[in-house]
Amino acid sequence: MPGTDGVDRRGLLKIAGGSLAALGLTAAGCGGGSGSADGTVTLRYAWWGSEDRAKRINETIALFEKKHPKIKVKTDFQPYLDFWKKFNTQASGGNPPDVFQNAIGFLRKYDAKNVLLDLNQQVKAGNLSMGNFRAGLEKFGEVDGKLLGVPVGSNSMALVIDKKVFARAGVTPEPGWTWDDFHRAMRTIRQTQGRAGDTGYYGVMYLYDLYLRQQGKAFFTEDGLGFTEADLTDWWTTGYEGVKAGVYADPKKIAQVKPKSGVTAEIGACEFTWDNFTVRYSSEGTSDYGLAPIPTTDGRKTGQYLGSLMLSASRRTKHPEEAAQFIDFMVHDPEVGRIMGYDRGVLTTTEQYAAFEPADDVNKEIAAYEKRLVDSGVLEKITPHPAGADVAESAFLRIAEEMAMGKRSVGDAVEQFFTESKTALGA
């Protein structure tokens, strides 16, 4: 899932999932925002991210207020963990922001807590357009017929590689390579370069989802898990054996260098992550980094989809029309696209995508990677995420790490994951 800005996934998911589960929200109550005697409306807009993202977003807000003088926007941004802490407090008190940054893993949970506004009515009223989205992204924020989020940037899973290490090892990942090819390549890197191949693929939930989708399954169904204990046993056994053989990085070493990547710390030669995170590697490390394709089971099916950060509105807002107009502006206005660039992923609407021309090599490669995915026809619909998905993801990462460190056997790890996930998902 995009947008964590390098924050440790285990910590942030624990906080987001645990506190949300305790909200117990109802639909009644007051809304956010305010109005004035002269008809001016004030919206509260909150997001997570870095100072650079805040600077860009503040520029877009100034542009919006200039074009909509009767709507003022009060902003609030935090690092990821702090964002969710504050948001949960506001939501439990019945006063969440009018508009806020959101992600796929939280849609069903927030919807079940009556936090999210169904934006379909605003689309029908002409305050929000869901036209001109790339590659079917207009469907990304839909849950059970309700429009709960509007995408602002797209990304997809990819393999970030240290190009120099791969070149010295004579390994060239190409579209259609298989998992057998991947594991063989990792062994070659270990044998020829004295460095682990991968930093810990076995603990990446979104990658395991793709592996399952390649076989006609999925990590999640609409109301639970879409795979068996035997499936996970096979996946984690391969990972554990690779760690013990030194083909995959020692998780203790990876933990020691956090928040820096194990790739830029030169512990491993590659790792699976979201394509738009590639910018991070170039700023952290001293080598050349690039994007390689996802391995397949059959030489064709990758199981991939375009993911996205999105904008959602509060069900409690007193100004649903203005909130929808604000979201519409942020996803369609060409100048907003030029200002934001690929900060939150490749721009989702055709107006903004055409308006921004990446000048640096990293962003050009991200755009080219997603274009290849779209043109190749391999993209599918995203797997549904049931309420509690964030807790299951956190458990997957934590327990995989414990297994890799030898704190749990593979069998015990699998059993523990299913126990925790079934509780989180209400199964």
Q: For 166-195, give the DSSP string.
A: HHHHT----TT-BHHHHHHHHHHHHHHHSS
pLDDT at position 33 is: 57
254 and 393 part of one domain: yes
Note whether residue 370 is domain-resident: no
> How many residues are listed for the chain in this entry?
427
CA 196/CA 186 separation, integer angstroms? 7
Note whether residue 374 is domain-resident: no
SS3 108: helix
DSSP symbols for 68-81: -TTEEEEEEEE-HH
192 and 219 part of one domain: yes
Take residue 209 and report the two structure tokens written for it. Answer: 């989802």
Note whether residue 379 is domain-resident: no
Note whether residue 179 is domain-resident: yes
CA 212/CA 301 separation, integer angstroms? 11
Please write down the long-range contacts of 296-301, taking CB distance under 8 Å and 24 or more positions apart: 296/176, 296/177, 296/178, 296/179, 296/214, 297/178, 297/179, 297/211, 297/214, 297/215, 298/178, 298/214, 299/176, 299/177, 299/178, 300/176, 300/378, 301/213, 301/214, 301/378
390 and 277 part of one domain: yes
233 and 87 part of one domain: no
Q: Is the peptide bond before 259 cis (omega within 30 degrees of 0)?
A: yes
81 and 31 part of one domain: yes
**Which residues are CB-neighbours of 409 under 8 A, at least 6 positions away?**
403
Note whether residue 161 is domain-resident: no
Q: Angle formed by the axes of helices 80-92 and 9-21, to 10°?
A: 0
Take residue 39 and report the two structure tokens written for it. Answer: 């008809």
SS3 124: helix
Residues 378, 300 contacting (CB under 8 angstroms): yes
Range of the domain at 236: 170-304+384-425
Note whether residue 345 is domain-resident: yes
pLDDT tens figures, 308-359: 899 999 999 999 999 999 999 999 999 999 999 988 989 999 999 999 999 8
282 and 350 part of one domain: no
CATH number, domain with residue 128: 3.40.190.10
pLDDT at position 27 is: 34
194 and 292 part of one domain: yes
| pLDDT < 70 regions, the chain | 1-37, 427
pLDDT at position 13 is: 40
pLDDT at position 35 is: 62
Angle of CA points 56, 57, 59, to nearest 5°: 65
190 and 268 part of one domain: yes
What number of CA atoms fall less than 13 Å from residue 352's CA on the CB side? 29
Note whether residue 162 is domain-resident: no
Take residue 14 and report the two structure tokens written for it. Answer: 């624990």
SS3 14: helix
pLDDT at position 427 is: 58
Residue 98 CB coordination number (10 Å): 27
208 and 290 part of one domain: yes
Residues 119, 330 contacting (CB under 8 angstroms): no
Nearest residue to 133 via CA among 328, 383, 340, 325: 328
Total domain count, the chain: 2
146 and 79 part of one domain: yes
Nearest residue to 101 via CA among 87, 113, 91, 90: 87
Note whether residue 371 is domain-resident: no
58 and 184 part of one domain: no
Residues 201, 271 contacting (CB under 8 angstroms): yes
Residue type, 232: L
Longest dimension (CA), the chain: 73
20 and 150 part of one domain: yes
